[in-house]
Amino acid sequence: MGGGGDGGGSSGVGGFRNPLRNIERALNEAIARSFVGKYFKLEARNSCFTKELRAGLATFLTMAYIITVNANILADSGGTCSMADCSVPVDGTAAPDCMFKPNPGYQNCLATAKSDLMVGTILSAMIGSFAMGVLANLPLGLAPGMGPNAYLAYNIVGFHGSGPIPYRTALAILLVEGCAFIAVSALGLRSKLAKLIPKSVRFACAAGIGLFIAFVGLQVNQGLGLVGPDPATLVTLTACSRTNPETGECIGGKMQSPTFWLGSIGFVIMAYGLMKELKGSMIYGIVFVTFVSWFRGTAVTYFPHSPLGDEKFNYFKKVVDFHKIQTTAGVLSFNGFNRSPVWVALATLFYIDVLATTGTLYTLAEIGGFVNERGNFEGEYMAYIVDGGSTVVAALLGVSPIATYVESSAGIREGGRTGLTAVVVSFCFMLSLFFTPLLSSVPPWAIGPSLVMVGVMMMKVVKEIDWGNVKESAPAFITMILMPLTYSIANGIVGGIGLYVALSLYDQVVRVMKWLGKMKRVVAKEQNQVSASAANAELVSVV
């Protein structure tokens, strides 16, 4: 008989769409009436299963870059690799600096550590996102945060273990920090602690960390290779066709590095995608650069014809493989906790976590319309507990602290309003566990552009700083400039707070002087009144 759909047999597409809509509607209604729908309050929050599914996919696409980016950053610390892993020359012993020079044994250890850190990143993001969805019922994705990972790799442990604190002790610091965050959240002290740091310094912290991360992404070893060392000016423009593998200095051919230009194309792809508000723009740029770098026999290949390149290529060809963590899980150590650098690192990580989590959660809650007239939102208490608990899990897995990702706004804009969105994000992370050969084959020049773009996005907070007020702007500027130039996030925070306190002393001195002047006038007035009373009494006695 006559065709269904919008009218006539020619409307085959419309006829095909209507059954799909009917199936989708029936599915949404069935799930809404089920235990799952009631638990996540789908109807109460004016949402449905398919909307939450799309929101979860959108959030995952925008934050999936962290899988490879975080592993690359943390691998720069060297993890548990040491001089003992270096290849020993036939006619001698391994030199103490073998960790900083091309060494097959140490590079193999780093490759294993990178895969371990990738799996740790995925597992911690999977567990954190699932807990946020089920316990707090909020559409927020969690994963190791940008900023704390850089602080851990380059300040606490240092490049290839050159910092003041060993990797194992750093993980113990993260464990204590996560427990402290749970405690202050449970006691309701989190917001009070966040307010102790001046507002201008709080804003500057985010911008300064962004500059620090971008600086890392521009360097030779960790990213694009646009910036390199120089004996006269400390840093200079490089992107050289040939560099010293030990020092990173340019040997020849400035701005002629093929990997730099390929990475630059990836950055343009990311920027254009973000400009057009395309979901997963960061992923598109990384995927393009990585795909081109996978071809052997080119100037930009990640698999050169060398023993190490052949080993990487053989692992890459597996495509699907489950990598078991070998070196980073459960290796924390409390040795050396009586040293001052440990407590400085603990305090810095704690404050970064408090500031970042508080600001991000409130921002996302406002975007989703969850905040009530009192400034609170449903699930707030459990959200902070989950964040701290996830950091504890991350420390046990060997990765950096967990953070609520602002990229969750992509899912919220797609209509995600319940924790089902976060559960979908968790499921997507779980699927990525089985593609570690592909994920571990992402080259640094594909990661570098994403680090620079993260820096771009983190700089937007500078508009909140009152640049016309020197008391606010000077500490903010010192905070931002010290982080990349001293290669230390802690130095920036300490410098900014120190300058703010110094500038505030003037106001305190003026306030004390005014109070002393007021008290002096009060005392003088009392003395005059006493003198006048005595004179009156004497006059009366005479009369």
pLDDT digits (tens, 9 = 90+) for 239-284: 888 877 666 678 878 899 999 999 999 999 999 998 988 877 888 8
In degrees and rounded to multiples of 5, residue 94 shows phi and psi of -70, 135
For the chain, give the percent of residues with pLDDT over 70: 91
pLDDT of residue 367: 77
Q: Which residue would you say has higher pLDDT here, 94 or 159?
A: 159
Rounded Cα distance, 345 and 177, in Å: 10
List, for residues 488-498, the tens digit of each pLDDT value. Answer: 777 888 889 88
pLDDT of residue 401: 93
Rounded Cα distance, 537 and 178, in Å: 73
List, for residues 188-239, the tens digit of each pLDDT value. Answer: 887 677 667 788 887 888 888 889 888 988 987 668 889 988 888 888 888 8
Q: Which residue would you say has higher pLDDT here, 363 or 425?
A: 425
pLDDT of residue 141: 94
List, for residues 435-448, the tens digit of each pLDDT value. Answer: 888 888 888 898 88
For range 69-82, the mean pLDDT: 91
For the chain, give the percent of residues with pLDDT over 90: 38
Dihedral class, residue 248 (left if φ above 0, else alpha if ψ from -120 to 50, else beta): left
pLDDT of residue 374: 75
Q: Is the pLDDT at 128 greater than 80, yes or no?
A: yes
Given a contact cutoff of 8 angstroms between Cβ atoms, the answer to whether 177 and 346 are in contact is yes
pLDDT of residue 5: 42
Q: Which residue would you say has higher pLDDT here, 363 or 384?
A: 384
Q: Is the pLDDT at 34 greater than 90, yes or no?
A: yes
Q: Model-level pTM greater than 0.75?
A: yes
Buried b (16+ CB within 10 A) or exposed e, 359-379: bbbbebbeebebeeeeeebbb
Average pLDDT for the chain: 85
pLDDT of residue 387: 92
List, for residues 306-357, the tens digit of each pLDDT value. Answer: 887 888 898 899 888 888 999 999 999 998 888 989 999 999 898 888 877 8
Rounded Cα distance, 494 and 344, in Å: 10
pLDDT of residue 376: 79
Q: Is the pLDDT at 540 greater than 70, yes or no?
A: no
Tokens of 336: 């050396």
3-state secondary structure of 356: helix
pLDDT of residue 3: 42
pLDDT band at 182 (very low <50, low <70, confident <90, very high): very high
Rounded Cα distance, 465 and 478, in Å: 13
pLDDT of residue 1: 37
List, for residues 279-295, the tens digit of each pLDDT value. Answer: 778 888 888 999 999 99
Domain ranges of the chain: 45-86+98-532
Rounded Cα distance, 497 and 519, in Å: 32
List, for residues 383-412, the tens digit of each pLDDT value. Answer: 999 999 999 999 999 999 999 987 888 888
Least trusted range by pLDDT, from 45-59, 394-408, 522-536? 522-536
In degrees and rounded to multiples of 5, residue 514 shows phi and psi of -65, -40
Given a contact cutoff of 8 angstroms between Cβ atoms, the answer to whether 270 and 446 are in contact is no
Q: Is the pLDDT at 169 greater than 80, yes or no?
A: yes
Rounded Cα distance, 351 and 60, in Å: 27
Which DSSP string do the residues of 85-128 spell out, in sequence order?
Answer: GSPPPTTS---TTGGGS--HHHHHHHHHHHHHHHHHHHHHHHHH
**Structure letter (DSSP) for residue 414:** T
Q: Which residue would you say has higher pLDDT here, 425 or 88?
A: 425
The contacts of residue 115 (CB under 8 Å, 6+ apart) are 71, 323, 436, 440
